[in-house]
Structure 1
Amino acid sequence: MKDFLTRTQTAPPPIPFLWYGIMIALVLLSIYGSFKYHSNPRFVKLFKWIQIVQLIALYTWYFGFRIPFANSLPLYHCRLAMFAVVFLPDKWRSKQYFALMGASGAVFALGYPVFDPYDFPHITSFSFLIGHYALLVNSLVYLLNHYDKTLLKKYMIVAYTFILNLFLVAVNQVTGGNYGLLKSPPFVPNAPLWLKYLLVSLILSLALVLFDELFKRRWKKLVPVYQRADT
């Protein structure tokens, strides 16, 4: 238990090919389960509580062990989405924005996992895995149940992303953190800061717009069905 909660950093744990294959299989299973059971209240409540317990455990460790603000603030893209999807009201524009971010971000995070530098098993690695699977399910469930194409325009998604990332750049400058991977993105770690900001913002905006378009097309197919049912 001491090693599980240690604050002594080492290196990110390696991921054997077999375990990486299991991680990807669980991504597909999470997506399948979200589409199949998104209308099941018990399924919806279960994954919300999994997310809540994961966040409580992680932030209890952060604050209990006085982890520096460079790592412990809830300002990573997926971390923001976790809080938003669980706690914000369903009709808020910002919740739909972060649900799109959560769905796309969880897929990318689990497809290209970047663990904290602690030996496995550790609370951060467990939180990373459990948190991102729960985020994927919760985001998809919300979008499947509550997506509304009138809430967000594409230009809003892009504008929100660039504004959010600009804020995170400022936070990184103050704390020394790497929130949003904006200080040291894996694909251009040595580029100038303005180029990192531009590339990360463009890639994230593209992913969000793509996911928004997918759910917009699904919404257009469903609306006539509901309209016919009402008449």
Structure 2
Amino acid sequence: MDQFFSTQGTASAFVPPMWVYVSAIIVMALEMVFCLKYHDKAWLKKFFWLFQLIQLVILYGFYMVQRISISISLPLYHCRAAMFSLMFMKDSKLKKMFAVIGIFGGLLAIFIPIMDKYAWPHVTLVSFYWGHFALFGNSLLYLLETKKKLSLKEIIGINLLIDVFLALVNELTNGNYGFLRETPLIAGWSFLARLVCVTLFFCLVTYGIQKLTDYLQTRVSV
């Protein structure tokens, strides 16, 4: 239990063994099947909502007790913001934006996990999988029912506002929210170039996933 809540980090980030990687993919696939088949069931929505709530309480309880720096503990990473939005926001275009981000973030976390520098098992590592499974479920269930539609102009505008806000927070906290301080693959580019690239990337992701989930919505409604 001491290791589970330890603040003692490791030299490098945890690398999931192959069995964990494969198991996570299988769980995500089964989760998708369940959501598509039982998307209109109240018990499934309550399950994912509670599943997410427990994960967030444990994770942020750890952050608060251990007084973890706000450069990593604020709920401003795209996926964490999506978790809170899916749980507490009313039906809106902004909530749909975060739900779309939740689909992408959930899949990306499983296929390309970026883990914290702790030894397994640790609360942040367990929370990583737990949280993204719950996020994916909450996001997919919401997208299969909402009637909100995001225009291309709205997609660009909302993503740009989010990224500019995160860039300002990074300056205040020295964090890397939105990967805007240390951007994978293009870390050496200027800030403005990275901001544009990150924003365009999320715009393309948002547009593509919205099209896909809109199609799935018509299929499950047949």
| Letter matched to residue 85 of structure 1 | L
Taking the aligned partners of 2:204 and 2:196, their CA distance within structure 1 comes to 12
Are 2:160 and 1:162 aligned?
A: yes
Equivalent residue, structure 1, for 2:108 = 108
Equivalent residue, structure 2, for 1:75 = 76
TM-score, normalization: structure 2? Answer: 0.93
Q: Report % sequence identity.
A: 34
Are 2:210 and 1:212 aligned?
A: yes
1:1-231 mapped onto 2 (5 Å cutoff) = 1-10=1-10, 11-89=12-90, 91-149=91-149, 152-219=150-217
Using the TM superposition, name which of 47-56 and 101-110 deviates more.
101-110
Alpha-carbon contact 1:102-1:135 (below 8 Å) kept: yes
Using the TM superposition, name which of 51-60 and 185-194 deviates more.
185-194
Taking the aligned partners of 1:56 and 1:76, their CA distance within structure 2 comes to 17
For residues 14-45 of structure 1, what are the alpha-carbon distances to aligned partners after superposition, in whole Å with 9 as ceiling and x for unaligned? 12223212222222122111111211111110
Taking the aligned partners of 1:73 and 1:36, their CA distance within structure 2 comes to 35
Compute the displacement of 1:148 (Å).
Answer: 2.8
> Structure 1: where are the runs of 5+ without partners?
226-231
Note the aligned Cα RMSD (angstroms).
1.7
How many residue pairs match? The answer is 221
Taking the aligned partners of 1:199 and 1:119, their CA distance within structure 2 comes to 33
Alpha-carbon contact 1:85-1:139 (below 8 Å) kept: yes
CA gap of 1:137–1:69, structure 2 versus 1, over 3 A, is: same
| Letter matched to residue 101 of structure 2 | M
TM-score, normalization: structure 1? Answer: 0.90
Taking the aligned partners of 1:222 and 1:50, their CA distance within structure 2 comes to 24
Taking the aligned partners of 1:109 and 1:222, their CA distance within structure 2 comes to 26
Taking the aligned partners of 1:161 and 1:130, their CA distance within structure 2 comes to 26
| Letter matched to residue 146 of structure 1 | T
Taking the aligned partners of 1:8 and 1:201, their CA distance within structure 2 comes to 35
Taking the aligned partners of 1:63 and 1:75, their CA distance within structure 2 comes to 16
Taking the aligned partners of 1:77 and 1:33, their CA distance within structure 2 comes to 25
After the TM superposition, list the runs of 4 or more consecutive aligned residues in structure 1 that deviate by more than 6 angstroms.
none
Using the TM superposition, name which of 182-191 and 4-13 deviates more.
182-191
Using the TM superposition, name which of 209-218 and 164-173 deviates more.
209-218
Alpha-carbon contact 2:100-2:139 (below 8 Å) kept: yes
1:9 alignment partner, SS class: coil
